[in-house]
Amino acid sequence: MLLSIVDELRSAAIYPELTKSRVLLSGLTSRCGVDIARAFAECSTRLVIRTAEASAAVDEISAFLAQAANELQLYSTDDIDETDAAVAFAQGPAQRAFGGLEAVINMIEIHPADLVGRTSESDLEALVSEKLLAPTMAARILANRMQLTLTQGSILHVVAAPTPRTGAELMVLDIIRATLAAMVRTESQNWADKGIRINAVAPANVLEHSDETLLGEPDIATLALFLTSTKGRNLTGHLFGSR
């Protein structure tokens, strides 16, 4: 199935139904999320951007996105991984910006330093919680809002990580990937009968074939559009691999 989906993604499909749709992209930095934000902006969506980086580069990216998007609201924060802050944002600005959302993309950035020295079970559990708990809790709040407003919505978690340099670093990424896969399966089942799809992207494991994986963020951006469109409404609970 993955092979046919990837083929579809690479066919440069156009989705006019996404015009003026309301999209949250959380976790944008100058390193990740730019291609995804641009893809939605070029579909003339209304974008809410929660950025984890306050910089001149992000200001330039925001100005570029504003030229293409139907509307854009930008929020900068330095606590992108904190659960309380993610919940507060989901309960407030994320919903107030345009009166609701049709799509949510959570960028989950793993830094090289995050993979170093994670040798004990408690270290690994702390990292998984730090990276996955905040987007999970925010997604539940936003999914509930979609349910209350009878909105069929798409939630996509995207893990962006460096190439592992050692077996230990590969193990850390595998644990994050496995935890994310389990989380997505459970959450997608909980929300499926409400018309809300939950999927994720994470670095591919060594057993996946290259022709069944997404080749970088441009492919991930196309996947995000596909899942948000009417064509993607039968896909939920999937973890897609990326290179």
The 10s digit of each residue's pLDDT in 126-146 is 999 999 999 999 999 999 999
What tens digit of pLDDT does each residue of 37-85 get? 999 999 999 999 999 888 899 999 999 999 999 999 999 988 888 999 9
- Which of 114, 120, 146 shows the shortest CA–CA distance to 132? 114
From residue 174, how far is each of 32, 104, 156, 189 by CA, in Å?
20, 24, 19, 23
**CA–CA distances in Å: residue 100 to residues 97, 104, 169:** 7, 11, 39
What's the pTM? 0.93
Q: Please identify which residue in the block is written with the tokens 């987007």.
A: 135
Q: Kindly report, residue by residue over 65-74, the tens digit of the pLDDT.
A: 999 999 999 9
Query: Domain 2-12+20-242 belongs to what architecture?
Result: 3-Layer(aba) Sandwich (3.40)
CA distance 22 to 219: 21
The ranges assigned to domains in the chain are: 2-12+20-242
